[in-house]
Structure 1
């Protein structure tokens, strides 16, 4: 099993590197360019015009890797469905904004509707076909709480929260890809621990596309993943957490993503209720930049934090 996981990782990594070399010129020819927030850090203005939608070749590499190496079963199919479904949502949004040059893209309601449909289909199949219980495992205490229909609400919140949190993290060169790589390998190990080959191989393949993408996304980035990649990665993590019944561990393993999302929520609530900004800018990676940290310093320290949290999550997963 471990040999299969290593082989899947290595092959998918090579496929991602090849597709990246071929795909970036295509994105340039389509003028799929990243737009930079005017109110963002001044140093980011130099990134204007960098190709985006790099998540497209990440997803193609993932599909190829899964078709070759992953077990062909319902669990793999549902992980692929949730990931690619969110990739398509992100792709449409990226395409409208970056290629068609329409600033609005998908509205928040349209995105939420798409995520709701994906979550509903995913939850139906895993509970009715895979017969995964509607229980929530509490780490450390090692108890299971039956949530009944409440579990569907929880699953929806996990899926929406995870996708949006990874999306918010994708703001610095290499940040989302690096933190996603360590989170993915953590779920690959959890898949091994729980004897779930589908999750183990899937996690290794997701890690591979993130590492391969980093070759082009490390500072200075030659391409950005866009919503195509970030929403898809969030969907992948939510799916793996739900299938392995480690939903609460996702909060730890994806701690960097949670921190990024919370910083935005805190900033918005504080400004709307008190007129005060808690952070110099949100998401929080921009706060550290404006506090004097270089972009690469922020990324490196967030990678380290993500790695430590991933190890903690894996240790807690051992029952």
Structure 2
């Protein structure tokens, strides 16, 4: 518990310190967010806000683990490696958007291939690790369930789904960092309950980074995390779930992630279906991801962020109760 507190404080302090230095540097370098024209028109005022703040999040997490002398444990080293891998995918995406002036960054196929490589590598490693294996905890079920060969496709799908869902969630000031902070807090308590010291340290480091980043990212945001941060956080969430056998619990604690991703999938497929059937594409939501639907319906960014964070608090409490019953 002492290690968890120390890592949290260090990660928070490093992230805040990095951002104080990074924001003016990114502004001078013109590493600024471009806003897509098809988004809400009032988001155009955000154009020019520095992005790639995820660099501070990643730095805070890694430095906290190094100072805590935890990064030299193989289990923590593995967590850091996968965390950095997904953050690098996001960094490349941000770099292309900003430096190469291509607002969409990596195309969907390129991004999916890179994510798939990381997902497959993680699934293979986890399934063959004696401390993880192919078993998963199922909420409110009294024993872990062995998924056998189904573990591989399930975990790959979970990795791809969570990483992209967190990215979808990063669409309003403070939304991804607020929701993710609550999710990481759940993993802190889950790690303590399960007795997973590496997972506890990583969770605390990510929690500290999210809280530190939120100081500068709440509305009106002084900086955006960019894909560098969103991919890193998504990678961290699913990575922690994998090493603690809690992939299924993301449906509870990460309910907002699931909702955001489902809204995008439903919107795209319903539009395609109605266009084929009627010649005119129709939409279920005013705009997807779903946080934009609420925004277009008149809710303020602060109210949406508060609502989604409250929902995450509630679902995380349910998830932890389920864990107490399960483990």
Superposition TM-score, scaled by structure 2 size:
0.94
C-alpha displacement at 1:210, in angstroms?
A: 0.4
Aligned to 2:119: 119
| Distance in 1 separating the partners of 2:104 and 2:263 | 23
* Counterpart check, 1:66 vs 2:72: no
Aligned to 1:227: 227
**Uncovered stretches (5+) of structure 1, i.e. residues with no partner:** none
C-alpha displacement at 1:157, in angstroms?
A: 0.8
| Distance in 1 separating the partners of 2:180 and 2:61 | 14
C-alpha displacement at 1:102, in angstroms?
A: 2.2
Aligned to 1:140: 140
Q: Secondary structure at the match of 1:32?
A: coil
C-alpha displacement at 1:311, in angstroms?
A: 1.5
Question: Greater shift after overlay, 246-255 or 62-71?
Answer: 62-71
Matched ranges for 1:269-280 at <5 A: 269-274=269-274, 275-280=281-286
C-alpha displacement at 1:71, in angstroms?
A: 5.9
Contact 1:8-1:205 at 8 Å conserved across structures: yes
Contact 1:75-1:126 at 8 Å conserved across structures: no
Contact 1:71-1:197 at 8 Å conserved across structures: no
Aligned to 2:34: 35
- Residues 44-74 of structure 1: per-residue CA shift (max 9 Å, x gap): 1100011111001110111101112236323
C-alpha displacement at 1:295, in angstroms?
A: 1.2
Q: Secondary structure at the match of 1:149?
A: helix
Contact 2:190-2:320 at 8 Å conserved across structures: yes
Q: Secondary structure at the match of 2:52?
A: coil
* Counterpart check, 1:75 vs 2:75: yes
Matched ranges for 1:200-215 at <5 A: 200-215=200-215
Give the RMSD, CA atoms, in angstroms. Answer: 1.4
Q: Secondary structure at the match of 2:144?
A: strand
**Uncovered stretches (5+) of structure 2, i.e. residues with no partner:** 275-280
* Counterpart check, 1:21 vs 2:20: yes
| Distance in 2 separating the partners of 1:202 and 1:142 | 26
C-alpha displacement at 1:130, in angstroms?
A: 4.4
C-alpha displacement at 1:131, in angstroms?
A: 4.6
With over 3 angstroms needed to count, the CA separation of the structure-2 counterparts of 1:71 and 1:83, relative to structure 1, is closer
With over 3 angstroms needed to count, the CA separation of the structure-2 counterparts of 1:145 and 1:130, relative to structure 1, is closer
C-alpha displacement at 1:161, in angstroms?
A: 0.5
Superposition TM-score, scaled by structure 1 size:
0.96
Aligned residues: 318
Matched ranges for 1:257-272 at <5 A: 257-272=257-272
- Residues 125-168 of structure 1: per-residue CA shift (max 9 Å, x gap): 33334452212332212343322222111111111111100000
| Distance in 1 separating the partners of 2:267 and 2:126 | 36
C-alpha displacement at 1:121, in angstroms?
A: 2.3
C-alpha displacement at 1:109, in angstroms?
A: 1.6
| Distance in 1 separating the partners of 2:170 and 2:86 | 15
Q: Secondary structure at the match of 1:40?
A: coil
